[in-house]
Chain A
């Protein structure tokens, strides 16, 4: 979300008047980046390698073979509990929908990835922190079922703060629903690859995201069950350096590979070709 805020920033007055449309700043090292180049570099800072968040639609462009993506998502969220905190949930939903142009926090479709038929589902962190409520859960279950029915691999790009609070127990139930839907792929020997991006926490990590045949993580992504703030409060200590980052998870055996975004598609294609029983031996595609 921070990234989009950068892009939307109003033209500051004074000496920078012509700068903001063309340039942006690295969130990590502060380097001035030419926006076009930054995008071509997949939102990775060319100076320090920091991986910035990617809008869901551009994530699809990065992974799906050009021209093959057909959207299958589009369920609309409801407000089953009539949830009101400092603002009604229904109002929050409308605001997120306006802001992102999406019905809920997921964009998915059928496509091929390196020629391998797939269902690709991308969580959208810009929509309510990518949180999983009934819509996200249902879309993932349908995506898995569709992949199984059509002989496709399932690829999910996770980016989420966890289950959505405003749908309470129903959000919690999506953890069970999504996990159970993966069995359809198991039965058909179809691959499921999960890509964990910054951040992936809570009920999303603790359900479908952790159960893939192969798990990739992007460098430096925050990944875990409890959020760092909660843990800090519990143990009343500062957290160790690099705690809950991708490299930490690789070291502790929770993910298969930490892969630079610029190499991600290549590695994803290799994994899918290795796993998918319908794809013949082919090296170096």
Chain B
């Protein structure tokens, strides 16, 4: 299912392909016409992709085919060994994690996992974790600290699951604990917002020394739909809310909420997931290198400073 604003581009691409096919099968020279359409396509792409608004980026962040945590772990890392369970209640499929190598470096990885089709999405609860998911993440943070391996997290959730079972098992409590546990890591920690960074459920694994974000990902205190439902009393005003929340990568960089933007292929990561994953790998390696010289105590203090200074207020 193409996104609404992609449709004119896809239609033009289809027409060019058809002309090519006609030229090939009939032997008629259509080069001039094809070139004309290709010029128009290039201009159209520039027009659409060069001026994406916040709401369009939110849609790109949710686009089917966009790389998920497991895609990144399988393609950018070597020998990902998934570890399961929170040792207390259950294994939460909405959060995955385990051990891996990044260009030969040992690392511990955790991330929200959305489904790549409807069936998997149901299994993964659309990437909305229960408390046991965060407890699994904290277990893996313990593991990273115990062995001194860098901790890498991938954020892609509409939010922590808002349900009866999650509340009964202390959703707020585990999110708070996970924020605290991650802030206390004595190893380099990098978080990458892959797609959706929905509120506390995202931040729970986002308290890193460096926070990176994909070019078309979003990160905020609330989803545009929920924000619109509350402030505009109409979820259909989500495009307005997306704009007001200043939730795009560039806006977040200006607010210092993120430290760097990972570029996506033209039209979004779902257009060329492999290229997107190569960009991710490059960004992670570069960031790990930056943090390499810091001692455990310095890493803790660096993280403290990073978050301590965020916010906008005036002295009385």
Instruction: Find the B residue at minimum CB distance from A201.
Output: B172
Partner of A165, one of B162, B163, B171, B230: B230
* Interfacial chain A residues near B168, Cβ < 8 Å: 252
Bound together, the chains give a CA A254 to CA B240 distance in angstroms of 37
Could you say which residues of chain A place their CB within 8 Å of the CB of B277? none
Contact of B307 among A177, A205, A209, A244 (CB under 8 A): A177
Interface residues of B (CB under 8 A from A): 160-164, 166-173, 175-177, 179-180, 183-184, 199-200, 203, 206-207, 219-222, 226-227, 230-232, 240-241, 244-247, 252, 255, 257, 303-304, 307-308, 310-316
Given contacts A169-B247, A230-B226, contact A134 B167 (CB under 8 A): no
Per-position binary interface string of chain A over residues 140-179, scored 1 when its CB falls under 8 Å from any chain B CB and 0 otherwise: 0100000000000000000000011101111111111101
Q: Which residue of A lies closest to B257 (CB)?
A: A169
The smallest C-beta distance from A188 to any residue of chain B, in angstroms, reads: 15
- A residues apposed to B, CB below 8 Å: 74-78, 80-81, 83-86, 103, 133-135, 137-138, 141, 163-165, 167-177, 179-183, 201-203, 205-211, 224-226, 230-231, 234-235, 239-240, 243-244, 252-254
B199 touches A254 (CB 8 A): no
CB distance from B241 to the nearest CB of A (A): 8
Contact yes or no, B169 A252, CB < 8 A? yes
In the bound assembly, the distance between CA atoms of A134 and B169 in angstroms comes to: 29
Query: In the complex, what distance in Å separates the CA atom of A133 from the CA atom of B169?
Result: 27
Q: Which residue of B lies closest to A164 (CB)?
A: B221
Interface centre among A77, A83, A175, A235 (most CB of B within 10 A): A175
Kindly state the separation between the CA atoms of A239 and B226 in the bound complex, as whole angstroms. 20
- Chain B, Cβ-Cβ closest to A227: B162
Partner of A235, one of B163, B172, B221, B303: B163
Q: Is the CB of A177 within 8 A of B199?
A: no
Known: A83-B244, A168-B222. 9 other contacts (CB 8 A): A76-B316, A77-B314, A85-B244, A134-B311, A165-B227, A170-B257, A179-B180, A224-B172, A226-B160
> What would 9 A/B residue contacts be, using CB atoms closer than 8 Å?
A75-B314, A76-B316, A169-B245, A175-B176, A180-B183, A210-B177, A225-B200, A234-B162, A252-B169
Task: List chain A residues, Cβ under 8 A from B313.
Answer: 75-78, 134-135, 138
Say how far A266's CB is from chain B's closest CB, in angstroms. Answer: 26
Given contacts A83-B244, A203-B200, contact A240 B164 (CB under 8 A): yes
Asked if B221 contacts A203 (CB within 8 A), the reply is yes
What residues on A are CB-neighbors of B199 within 8 Å? Answer: 163, 172, 203
> Are A168 and B200 within 8 A (Cβ)?
no
CA distance A206 to B174 in the complex (A): 8
Write the nearest CB–CB distance from B173 to chain A, whole angstroms. Answer: 5
Least Cβ–Cβ distance between B69 and chain A, in angstroms: 20
Q: Which residues of A contact B160 (CB under 8 A)?
A: 225-226
Query: Which one of A76, A168, A239 has the highest number of Cβ atoms from chain B below 10 Å of its Cβ?
Result: A168
Task: Considering the complex, give the chain B residue whose CB is closest to the CB of A244.
Answer: B167
Given contacts A168-B245, A171-B221, contact A75 B308 (CB under 8 A): no
A254–B173 CB distance below 8 A: yes
The distance from the CB of A217 to the nearest CB of chain B, in whole angstroms, is 13
Chain A residues within 8 Å of B307, by CB: 173, 176-177, 180
Nearest-CB residue, chain A, relative to B231: A85
Complex Cα–Cα for A252 and B171 (A):
12
A254 partner, pick from B170, B179, B180, B232, beta carbons under 8 A: B170
Pairwise interchain contact A169-B227, C-beta atoms closer than 8 A: no
Q: Are B316 and A225 in contact (CB under 8 A)?
A: no
Cross-chain contact B167 with A169 (CB below 8 angstroms): no
* Chain A hits for B220, CB < 8 A: 168-169, 172
Give min CB distance, A108 to chain B, whole Å: 12
- In the complex where A183-B184, A231-B164 touch, is A165 in contact with B308 (Cβ < 8 A)? no
* A184–chain B nearest beta-carbon distance, Å: 10
| Closest CB in chain A relative to B182 CB, distance in Å | 9
B166 contacts which chain A residues (CB < 8 A)?
225-226
- A177 contact set on B, CB distance < 8 A: 307-308, 310-311
Q: CB distance A170 to B311 under 8 Å?
A: yes
Determine if A165 and B221 form an interchain contact, defined as CB atoms under 8 angstroms apart: yes
Across the A-B interface, the 5 shortest Cβ-Cβ residue pairs: A226-B162, A134-B311, A74-B316, A80-B312, A205-B172
Q: State the CA gap A74–B315 with chains docked (Å).
A: 7
Instruction: Report the Cα distance A179→B177, complex, angstroms.
Output: 9
Complex Cα distance, B251 from A168, in Å, reads: 11
Q: Once the chains are docked, how many angstroms separate the CA of A83 from the CA of B312?
A: 13
What's the minimum C-beta distance from A183 to chain B, rounded to whole angstroms? 7
Q: Which chain B residue shows the least CB distance to A83?
A: B244
- How close is A172's CB to chain B, nearest CB, in angstroms? 4
Cross-chain contact of B167 among A173, A174, A243 (Cβ < 8 A):
A243
User: Does the CB pair A176–B171 fall under 8 Å?
Assistant: no
Contacts of A235 in B (CB 8 A): 163-164
CB-CB under 8 A from B310, the residues of chain A are: 134, 170, 173-174, 176-177
Closest beta carbon of chain B to A202's beta carbon, Å: 7
CA distance A174 to B179 in the complex (A): 11
Give which listed residue, A169, A176, A205, contacts B183 with CB less than 8 A: A176
Residues from chain A with a CB closer than 8 A to the CB of B161 are: 234
CB distance from A212 to the nearest CB of B (A): 10
* Chain B residues, CB < 8 A from A81: 244-246, 255
Is the pair A179, B200 in contact by a Cβ cutoff of 8 Å? no
Contact in complex: B255, A179 (CB < 8 Å)? no
Could you tell me if A243 and B164 are in contact, using CB atoms closer than 8 angstroms? yes
Whether the pair B200, A175 counts as a contact (CB closer than 8 A) is yes
Contact B255 A208 (CB under 8 A): no
